[in-house]
Amino acid sequence: MKDTQSPYTLLETWLAGAGDIRSVRAAVCDFNGCLRGKRVPVSKALSLADGVRMPLSVSAQDIWGRDVGSNPMVTGGDADALAVPTGRAPVRMDWLAAPTALVPMWMQSLDGEPSFADPRRELARVLGRYTARGLTPVVAMEFEFYLVAEGSMQEGEPGPVISPMTGRMVEAEGVLSLDDLDAFEGFIEDVHRTAEASDINLDAAISEGGAGQFEVNMLHSDDALKAADDALLFKRLVKGVALRHGFAASFMAKPFAGMAGSGLHVHFSCLDADGANIFDNGGDDGSTEMRHAVAGMLAAMPSSMLLFAPHLNSYRRFEQGSHAPTTTSWAYENRLAAVRIPAGPGYARRIEHRVSGADCNPYLLLAAVLGAGLDGIEAGREPPKPVTGNAYESGAPEVPQRWSAAIDGFGAAYLDPRFVELFRACKAQELDRFTAQVSPFEISTYLDAV
């Protein structure tokens, strides 16, 4: 349920039961899904209701926390703005040594104008288009991640996690393994308990295909902005809870070269003003509106790839036969396609978008899926025929499978053009820095051979 309390009342009510909390973190989400902000003593927490000053550019940092060189907000003087509460109650971070909590914020100018560079603001803008049409998207996300040995690196890769049950390294792949779930039951239960305390609604957990890889599903929500908040907070709490259990969690798209990548799948349906699912036509094939939404997603997929796969490592996940889609294809009940229509009762008819890695920004992922879907509905787009069988060999156009190509081709009509330009510049800056590095593998290959 959406909270309608004022920021002051929300913080005041929370503080009354905060107990041992000594400080809070006031934080906003940047381009890469990293939280940036300030530590505030709990005695000053009520002042956050009026906002806290931060540079307007704080949302537009690269992955290392550096300003984007061409950012006009920086070159124009890097003026202050306000981070203001999003309306969500503070979230406890019990895995830290000192009791603390996170106050989710988002950016606006000093005169109250929402910041175009804030990813949460971009999703809110897309959702405003749905509201104007009397529509409500319903979304759910499925996260894959790895547990790895804390602080260990073996030949450039993180070390395998140690099983709490056997004391041995987890090196065997274990898709849907109950033994793996049982071995990490304490961690999984702790994740669910911490998520529940943070108002994050989780569903099933499974052991995935990679050694030490798990998937946790989030329940469907008719508040897509909260769903994205939940996804961002979920990643943070999983990492924190993992450390409390003596290992680490990684949401890299491809942390191990020889194992499965980690994806972030989105399920999407849409309700009209009467609460009816507009994707349901009473049959298994779905409605005309559903097919229009699919067409919009497929049409925007190549130019949106930078949102689904925003990092250098993201593109290592896209391999034929890996269940990570490489073509702009759709299908009924086929996990090899980029867009899948799951089977099930008509009232639950939905679209599953399967392209993104777990390393993407949840706000930008939902903005892309929902924005392109609505574009398709509004334009009455028709998709190509759904594929059957092996989607990798369907002949459908390929998605960009190189970071440089995704950067060059990035263009999202559903986002503010200023955001598009700045996000592209951020990723080009990151690519330039990676390109400037000379890797050990490069040296060992060429040092004596040429």
pLDDT in tens, 149-205: 987 666 567 888 888 877 777 776 766 568 788 888 999 999 999 999 999 999 988
Domain ranges of the chain: 7-111, 131-415
- What tokens were used for 171? 């090196």
Question: Which secondary-structure segment (H or E) carries 83?
Answer: strand 80-85
Residues β-bridged to residue 207: 214
Taking phi first (over 0 means left), then psi (-120 to 50 degrees means alpha), and beta for anything else, what does residue 176 get? left
C-alpha dist (Å) from residue 137 to 125, 223, 344: 13, 8, 18
* pLDDT value of residue 369: 98
More confidently predicted of 11 and 169 = 11
* pLDDT value of residue 414: 96
Give the model confidence (pLDDT) of 332-364 as tens digits.
999 999 999 999 999 999 999 999 999 999 999
* pLDDT value of residue 155: 58
* pLDDT value of residue 1: 42
Residues in contact with 231: Cβ distance below 8 Å, sequence separation at least 6, in sequence order: 141, 143, 218, 264, 362
Residues β-bridged to residue 29: 35
**CATH architecture classification, 131-415:** 2-Layer Sandwich (3.30)
Residue 219: strand, helix, or coil: coil
Q: Considering the entire predicted model, what is its pTM?
A: 0.95
Closest to 147 (Cα-Cα) out of 212, 65, 207: 212
- Domain 7-111 shares a fold with domain 131-415: no
- The CATH superfamily assigned to 7-111 is Glutamine synthetase, N-terminal domain (3.10.20.70)
